[in-house]
Amino acid sequence: MTARNESGDLEVWIDQDLCTGDGICAQYAPEVFELDIDGLAYVKPPAPAGQEADLLTAPGATAPVPLTLLREVIDSARECPGECIHVRRTADQTEVYGPDAVVDA
């Protein structure tokens, strides 16, 4: 499947019910993922220069996938032992990377 990310058309979210807290995602893309005090991973939106981004801790919260971090976010979804990272197109909400990814036939 080919996923394009022009003008922020991909977003990522984490299913905390499945998160194992291994932190692999935060190692791959610390600008997008971070472990919170509860030991689970959450997404965070891009931060303005010189500022820290706030974690999005609401269930199902999404963050845009920056084009410069697309490979790292995809690798995070593929390597996640909890299979809890979901990357989808914002236009139609189709998952393109993650456990529920739609694969072209």
Domain spans in the chain, listed from the N-terminal domain onward: 10-97
CATH 3.30.9.10: does it fit domain 10-97? no
d(CA 32, CA 104): 27
What does the pLDDT look like over 79-93, one tens digit per residue?
999 999 999 999 999
The SS3 of residue 101 is coil
Mean pLDDT of all residues in 26-35: 96
The pTM assigned to this predicted structure is 0.87
**Residues sharing a CB contact under 8 Å with residue 66, sequence separation 6 or more, in sequence order:** 8, 31, 32, 46
Lowest mean pLDDT across 6-10, 39-43, 75-79, 98-102 = 6-10
Asked if 36 and 55 touch (Cβ cutoff 8 Å), the reply is yes
